[in-house]
Amino acid sequence: MTTRTSQSCRTSVLIVGFGQMGHAMQALLVNRARLSIWRITPENQQPSPAVRKTAKQAEFILLCVPTMAIAIALTHLQAHLTKHAVVLSVAKGLDEAGRTAADILQSQLGVRGCWGILGGPMIATELRAGRSGFAELGSRSVMTQRLVGRLFLSTQLHITLSHNPRAVSWCGVLKNVYVPLFGLADGLGWGDNLRGQLAGAALAEINLLVQRFSGARHAADGPAGLADLITTATSHSSHHRALGWRVAHGDRHIPQGEGPHTVRVLQRDESMPSARTFPLLHVAAALMRRPATARAKLSAWIDTTA
């Protein structure tokens, strides 16, 4: 565990996970808070005595780990957290049980707990370089919203609010399902017009899916949905865009990542909506499950687009 202290600010923050997003959070908050870091890894998931001691004093816990690691991290920390510690997750995937980050936090911290989900255009390398990021905070707790807003006030991470954390979570999950299609289309050289059509169609389907899974209407129109979709779909640093690009250039390996995992979970649990209602979703699923068919599936979708 490493610690950096700002003498002028006493807010205590524990960053869990020190990958790209953990480093980005450190860069955002280093001059505003007393930061402690738990370098949790798949090989080392036990917090040290120093981490457990820090957790007892932390006002914020920033979970900068994949969705599948959230429950493990919380299980180790939960007994040490104060009642009013704010727990935030930036994860954009499903765990093996098909749960979003919001589902996991609600299960372990309760409906009325001090927790929230941050979703939106937050490319870690840009935040570390001092560029702006935009996050939608999903939390049912007004107090949590106020505290998080205060934590990031005057930083380069600009916060908007949502009272439906599950909707914010699902926006991030589904964004990673659709983004490989943009990489596929760009890799095939099929033009800017198609990219625009994909954006409109993907947003429409994501909105309907988020409503189905969370009950929120038009939740994907904001930072966690549309803004993050466009950012990830057009960023050359995007892992999920690169998945589609590689398929366009002949890679026939089954893609790995949060988007492909989401498709596997939906198909495994028979939660996959019909192709008639969500045709683009099924093109994305084909890309991730049968890459050799992706080009023909996307072409057929174009031909049926009114």
For residues 215 and 208, give the distance between their C-alpha atoms in angstroms, rounded to a whole number: 9
- Looking at residue 288, its pLDDT comes to 95
Does 58 fall in a domain?
A: yes
Q: Tens digit of pLDDT for each residue in 227-265?
A: 999 999 999 999 999 999 999 999 999 999 999 999 999
Asked if residue 188 and residue 145 are part of one domain, the reply reads: no
> Where residue 270 falls among pLDDT bands split at 50, 70, 90?
confident
Cα(300)–Cα(269) distance, integer angstroms? 27
- Kindly state whether residue 240 falls inside one of the protein's structural domains: yes
Q: What is the pLDDT of residue 113?
A: 86
Strand 34-38 versus strand 86-89 pairing type: unpaired
Residue 268 and residue 190: Cα distance in Å, rounded? 32
Q: DSSP secondary structure string, 121-184? A: S--HHHHHTT--EEEEEE-S-HHHHHHHHHHTTTSSEEEEEES-HHHHHHHHHHHHHHHHHHHH
Q: Are residues 180 and 151 in the same domain?
A: no
Same domain, 67 and 146: yes
Q: What share of the chain in percent tops pLDDT 90? A: 92
Q: What domain count does the chain have?
A: 2
| Within a domain: 109 | yes
pLDDT at 9 over 90: no
In a domain? residue 192: yes
Does residue 169 lie within any of the structural domains?
no
Residue 168 lies in a domain: no
- Mean pLDDT for the chain? 94
Domain CATH code at residue 224: 1.10.1040.10
Residues 24 and 146 in one domain: yes
Average of pLDDT values for 200-215? 97
Q: Is 279 exposed, middle or buried (0-12, 13-18, 19+ CB in 10 A)?
A: middle
pLDDT in tens, 149-163: 999 999 999 999 999
Q: What average pLDDT does the segment 63-77 reach?
A: 96
* Structural domain for 140, as ranges: 2-163
92-104 residue pLDDT tens: 999 999 999 999 9
CATH code assigned at 83? 3.40.50.720
Verify that 248 and 204 share a domain, yes or no.
yes
52 and 122 both lie in a single domain? yes
pLDDT at 41 over 60: yes
